Structure formats: structure tokens, C-alpha cells
Structure 1
Amino acid sequence: MTAAASAVLAVALAVSSYAMIGVLGRALLTTIDDSIRQRARSTVSLADAGRLPDELSSPDGVLLQVVDATGRITHATAGTDRLVPLLDARQRATAIRRGEARFVDGRPYGIPHVLRVRVLSADGGRAVIAARSFSEVQTSIATAGHVLLVGTPLLLVLLAGASWLIIGRTLRPIAALRRGADEITDTARSRRLPVPEARDEVHSLATTLNDMLARLEKADNRQRALVSDAAHELRSPLASIRLQLEVALGHPEGQEWRETAEGVLEDTMRLSRLAEDLLALARLDERGGALARREPVELDRLVPQSVERYGEAVTVDLTAGPGGEAITVTGDALALGRVLVNLVDNALRYASAPVAVELRAEGADAVLTVTDDGPGIPEPDRERVFDRFTRLDSARSRDEGGAGLGLAIVRETVHAHGGAVHLEDASPGLRAVVRLPLS
């Protein structure tokens, strides 16, 4: 960055120096042209009025020659050739016609400088030649050039050093971020990058990266917890299967093989349900909350089909939409069916009377409720039960219950459909309320 900035600065300084020398030269040349033009005009005025002195004076260093129609010099300033005009007749005529100053080498006339010459015509065919040395301009330009030639590299070095220090100071926090990133490992408890004190872009970058690391750490902890909880849940049925088989093989003569097979089958079904729940959660996590498919789903047809297998254990109450239209949402029919089945299974685990399933349209939402008459859930625990592998007191249910993944699957699936789910008191019992946006 310093090299690039220095290169650009060097080009800019070179162009600026060249432009400054050019502007300075033109300004000085204009000053000389103005002075010789003014001096020539005043001399023409005196010549036309017949008041020319025998010896012309020029306090500003302008050389004057008054040439008559025959080419003879009649008046001149001191130090000026009185025999040979600075310009011959043809050159004088050309200069008068063009009305411009021109350069003339003064050495043939005993003047060791380049002259800037201007010619004006006067009455009687006379011409006034005004000239001034250009050496002062050359000297000024040369002096300015030497100053720039020495000063520009020094300025470039100074600015390059300043750029190096400023850029280095700016990038120092980035180097600290890099070192902090090198120190982060997958076994570190707290994986964070150092945040600089300055409230600048690097501070914002470090804060953003730390937020990202916090999300990754949260996801990693969640994944580790899922693996740990899944392993814990798998141990119980596997241990039960192993124990039953070891007992059966150790005492085959007194073993009821049908009873053993039924016990092993029950534990195998638990393993199967756990594997299905874990697979469903893994697919939800893999898609990042997105749906596998998005298509119109008629809930007033899906709900009866999903609970049909429960028979009289579940009652269904459907309220048609406005104008008798179907209650339709956009989403995945299989996933929504799984949501309803999980809620009904959870309700049946605690209910003594039939579970009530209701569906209605309410504003821009489809509202699906599943109500049971069980012991309910205390209000402080109604949000916690949606966490993975969360199970409350299993003694309230009539079986051993699931692995605590059903409600977690319900919430993540509903959120993927853009809806919301919560639990509320049914007095008695518990009601699960699912809201989904209508198509």
C-alpha cells in the first residue's frame, strides 16, 4: 500500500512540478511582454508628440530603439546599439503586423542574453523597438526547477514514511486479528478475536467476526449437546436389548422366547422412533430452516387424513374459511402432517378423554389446536419443553414417553413455514396452538 501510494504520489508530484514550472514561465513571460508593451506605447506617444529626448531612459531595464522610415536609429537607450536595429525592416514589418513579441538573440548586438522584443509603429513611418532580457526569467525557472528537483524527492520520502507509519498503525489491529485467529482451535472454550479500542472499520470487522464466532460456537455446542443427548438416549434401549438377550442366552431352558422377542421389539421400536426424530432434526438443520418443498397444502383435507388412524381417540372440528373456501397454506404437506401427528401423540400420552383437534381460519392465519384433558404443564415449563431432549416428569404419562424431540421438531417445522406455536392452559389439560400464514 505504501509503494502504490508513493508511486501515485510521485507521478502526481512530477506532473504538478512540470505544470508549476510551465505556469511560472508563462506568468513571467507575460510580465515581460506587458512591461515592454507599456514602455513601447509610452515611447510611441512621445514620438508622435515630438517630445522624444535625445537620450531615452528606461528605469525598468527595457531597451528602446526608435527607427525612422529609412532604417536609421534616431533615439536609443544607453547601452543599446545605435547603428544596427535589433530587427531589420522586414522583421519589423512582420512584428508590427502580427502584434506579438518575439525572441531575439542579443549576442550579435553585444548583449549576452536572449531578448524579448516588441515593435510598435509611430507616425512618419517610424517604429519603436522595445526589448528586455529574458535571462531573469530563465534564472527564476532554473531556480524553481532546482528547488523542485531537490525538494520533490525529499517530500516523497517524507510522505512515504508517513504513509508507512499510518498504514502500519491502521493494519496493526488486523495483524492482531490474524494472530488471534491463529490461536483459535476447535478445543478452545472461548473463541474470540481481540477488538481494537478505536471505533473504526477494523473495530466493526472484529465485532462482526466475534458475533459470527459466537453463532458458530452456539451451533457447535448445540450439535455437541445433540450428539451427547442422542448417545444417552440410545444407551437405555440398547442396554435393555443386550440384557434381555444375555439373560435369554444364559438360561435358554427357562426362557419365554416370545416375551423376550416382544421386549426386544419394543426397544427396537424406541430406537427406530429416535432415529427418525434425529433424522428429521438433522434435515431441518441441514436446510437451515428452509422447507424441502413449497406447494399449496389444504389443511382441511390434511388434518382428517393425518388423524384418521387414531379412530375415536381423536375428534376433529373443522371450520371452513370465509365463503366456504378451503384453508390453504404454502409448505410441505409431509412435514405439516408430522407436526400434527407429534402433537396428537404427545396429547394422547397424557389424556384420558378423546383429544380434540380444531382447525379454523382467523384473519390471515390458519389456526390449528390440539387439546387434551391431561395434567397440563406448569407455565414456567411451557417454553422449555420445545427444547431438544427435554422431558418433564414422566410419571404423569401412561408410558415411558419419547426422547423429548417431538415438540422440538414441531417448533422448527412451524418456524420453517413462517408460523408460530405455543402451549396454553385448557382448564383442564393443555392446548397446543399452531398458527400458519394462509396462502
Structure 2
Amino acid sequence: MVGQTYAGAAEVDEAFLQRITVTSAAAAASCALLSWLVIGRILRPVRRLARAAEHITTTRDLATPLPAAGRDEVGGLTRAFESMVGALRRSREQQQRLVQDAGHELRTPLTSVRGCAELLQRARGRLAPEDEEQVLATLVTETVALDEIVRELVELATDQWTAEDPEPLDLPAAAEDSARRFQRRTGREIAVTVEGGPVPVLARPRALQRCVDNLVGNAVKFSPDGTPVEIRVTGTRLSVRDHGPGIAPDDRQAVFERFFRAAGTQATPGSGLGLAIVHDLVAADHGTVFATAAPGGGAEVGFHLPPAPQH
């Protein structure tokens, strides 16, 4: 018979178990600490971005600086948020400028209407018939101007055609339709020239027709009586040429600003919003506008639109 004690082996097992327990606890604590540090470092930009967003929401201060954007996913989120805030800031600036410009433009006809009304109120029938007729004609003229300004301000501020979906459209058809209506309404000769084959454009139908109408109406307004208005369509480009005084080189971008009036045109009827509406509608359909001098005098104003995708 042979006898053997297992006390030494048990001590080894117990010591090994203790070491494993201590080592596992230390490793778990180290992993937790490291994870906390890493996650905290990752989430720190998110927390800063969240604080900035809360500050903007509370104060409505769109000029609040945002944390620096890195090259990771959080940096991409920060850049996207910065782009959104920038768009909101530009939109607010445009709204404030529109309100200021509108107030300035509305003040003149309102002052004229008020003056005429006060004159009629004080006179109480004592005005000479020709003077009274002149005052009433001024009232009608200024009221029509007010109506036009308010209508175009509403269209410019709300963009009534945003609910429309872009679709392939025929530029020559829109030009022909506008030419027929304006020729019937004004008696002015309006010629349409199409160069090259038709290229469908991607745009909103009613918005496109409004753009063409505004360009033709602007050309009719500035062209002398007896001169034609010419619409030219080349591919995805449409231009309207008049035979008026033309546009100075320094004013060719400014004519698309709201309420802009070039030197010498302040007495011309209109709200100064027609080309601004064209600019906004074309830009919404990812197009561009232009204004140049026409050969032989006059101005050529128009736009480019993106071609419709081929199926």
C-alpha cells in the first residue's frame, strides 16, 4: 500500500485561484477605467455640440460659435449642424432685409395715398373737377402699385410653388405660351426663336411659367413702343431681349436683388421684385440667372436650368 498527501496540490490550486481572482478584478477595473476615458473623450465633442444647440435654442442666437469639427463621425455631424445653422442665419438675414426693404418701398405709396385722402377730406367737394380727377387718378395708381408690391412680396416670401414637384418641361412651349398671352394683352410684337433641338429641363411647371412671364413683362416695360421683344431658347438656356436703355455693367448682378432700381428707372412703374422672384425660383430649381448687354442696344436677361435626366 502507498499513501500520498494532496495538501501541496490544494495549496497550489488555492494560490492559483487567488491570483486569477485578483488579476481578473484588476483587468476588469482597468478596462472599465480605460473605457470611461475613451468614451468620455469620444462623447466630449457631442456634449459640447449639445450645449451649443441648447444655447441656440434658448437664446435664438445663430451666431453662437460651434466646437471645432474633427475628421471623425462627430466632426461630420458638427459640420452638418454648422451648415444648417449657417443656412438659418442667412435666411434670417434675408427676411430682415426683406422686411426693411418692404417697409421702405411701401412707405412711398402709402404716403401718397394718405396725402390724397387728406386732401379730399379737407376739400370736401371744393376742388376743381380737373384737380379732383387728378387726385383720384393718383389714388388709383398708388393703390394698384401697393397691390402689386404686396402680392409679389407674398410670393417672394412664401414661394407658392414649393409644393410642386420638378418634372421634365419644354422651354419652347413655355416661351410660346408667354409670348401669345403678352402679345394679346399688350399688342407688342414678341418673337420666339428656338436654336437647336429641344432639350427638356427639370423644373416646376408654374414656377417656370412665372419666370418667363416676369422676364417678358420686364422687357415689355423697358422697350420703347413699336420695338419687338425677342425670346431665344437654346438648349436649356432661355433669354429675353429688349430694345430699351440696357443695363450698366455694374448693375447686371444687382438687378436680381429685391427692390433694386437702376439709375434713371426710378420713375418706371413696377415693384422692383420681378427679377428677384425669377432669381429665387430659378435657384430653387438649381439653375442660374444672367443679365448682359444685347448687340445693337438693349438688355438680354434670362436663365439656365438643369436638363431633365434621360430615362
The Cα shift of 1:179 comes to 3.0
Q: 1:282-313 CA distances to partner (integer Å, 9 max, x unpaired)?
A: 332883xx746747553364133232234442
Which of 428, 433, 438 pairs up with 2:297? 428
Verify: 1:411 aligned to 2:296, yes or no. no
**Alpha-carbon distance between aligned partners in 1 of 2:260 and 2:160, rounded to the nearest angstrom:** 18
> What residue identity is the alignment partner of 1:308?
Q
Which of 183, 188, 192 pairs up with 1:317? 192
Q: 1:159-212 CA distances to partner (integer Å, 9 max, x unpaired)?
A: 32333233333333333333333333556372222326x654444433332222
Which of 238, 257, 261 pairs up with 2:136? 261
Which of 248, 256, 273 pairs up with 1:386? 256
Alignment correspondent of 1:358: 231
Verify: 1:283 aligned to 2:158, yes or no. yes
Are 2:161 and 2:207, in contact at CA under 8 Å, matched by a contact in 1? no
Which of 132, 145, 152 pairs up with 1:270? 145
> What residue identity is the alignment partner of 1:269?
V
Verify: 1:195 aligned to 2:88, yes or no. no
Compared with structure 1, are the counterparts of its residues 187 and 438 closer, same or farther at alpha carbon in structure 2 (3 Å cutoff)? closer
Taking only aligned residues, the RMSD between alpha carbons, in angstroms, comes to 3.1
**Alpha-carbon distance between aligned partners in 2 of 1:333 and 1:212, rounded to the nearest angstrom:** 28
Count of residues paired in the alignment:
300
Q: 1:261-297 CA distances to partner (integer Å, 9 max, x unpaired)?
A: 322221111111112212222332883xx74674755
Are 2:292 and 2:300, in contact at CA under 8 Å, matched by a contact in 1? yes
Q: Which segments of 5 or more consecutive residues in structure 1 lack a partner in the other structure?
A: 1-80, 82-108, 114-134
Are 2:48 and 2:67, in contact at CA under 8 Å, matched by a contact in 1? yes
Alignment correspondent of 1:372: 242
Compared with structure 1, are the counterparts of its residues 183 and 274 closer, same or farther at alpha carbon in structure 2 (3 Å cutoff)? same
The Cα shift of 1:331 comes to 4.4
> What residue identity is the alignment partner of 1:411?
H
Verify: 1:218 aligned to 2:87, yes or no. no
**Alpha-carbon distance between aligned partners in 2 of 1:264 and 1:203, rounded to the nearest angstrom:** 59
Are 1:347 and 1:355, in contact at CA under 8 Å, matched by a contact in 2? no
Which of 132, 143, 164 pairs up with 2:36? 164
Are 2:289 and 2:304, in contact at CA under 8 Å, matched by a contact in 1? yes
> What residue identity is the alignment partner of 1:389?
F
Verify: 1:242 aligned to 2:242, yes or no. no
**Alpha-carbon distance between aligned partners in 2 of 1:306 and 1:369, rounded to the nearest angstrom:** 17
**Alpha-carbon distance between aligned partners in 1 of 2:203 and 2:77, rounded to the nearest angstrom:** 37
Please state whether the residue corresponding to 1:391 is helix, strand or coil: coil
Q: 1:118-171 CA distances to partner (integer Å, 9 max, x unpaired)?
A: xxxxxxxxxxxxxxxxx6655443322111122222332233233323333333
Please state whether the residue corresponding to 2:179 is helix, strand or coil: helix
> What residue identity is the alignment partner of 1:354?
T
**Alpha-carbon distance between aligned partners in 1 of 2:120 and 2:244, rounded to the nearest angstrom:** 38
Alignment of 1:35-184 (within 5 A): 81=1, 109-113=2-6, 138-184=10-56
Compared with structure 1, are the counterparts of its residues 164 and 377 closer, same or farther at alpha carbon in structure 2 (3 Å cutoff)? same
Q: Which segments of 5 or more consecutive residues in structure 2 lack a partner in the other structure?
A: none
Answer 1 or 2: higher relative contact order, Cα 8 Å, separation at least 6.
Answer: 2
Compared with structure 1, are the counterparts of its residues 153 and 437 closer, same or farther at alpha carbon in structure 2 (3 Å cutoff)? closer
Structure ID, larger Rg:
1
**Alpha-carbon distance between aligned partners in 1 of 2:48 and 2:175, rounded to the nearest angstrom:** 60
Are 2:293 and 2:300, in contact at CA under 8 Å, matched by a contact in 1? yes
Are 1:306 and 1:341, in contact at CA under 8 Å, matched by a contact in 2? no
Compared with structure 1, are the counterparts of its residues 245 and 231 closer, same or farther at alpha carbon in structure 2 (3 Å cutoff)? same
The Cα shift of 1:430 comes to 0.7
Compared with structure 1, are the counterparts of its residues 168 and 333 closer, same or farther at alpha carbon in structure 2 (3 Å cutoff)? closer
The Cα shift of 1:377 comes to 1.2
**Alpha-carbon distance between aligned partners in 2 of 1:186 and 1:271, rounded to the nearest angstrom:** 36
> What residue identity is the alignment partner of 1:191?
T
| Farther off after superposition, 343-352 or 423-432 | 343-352
> What residue identity is the alignment partner of 1:277?
E
Alignment correspondent of 1:75: none
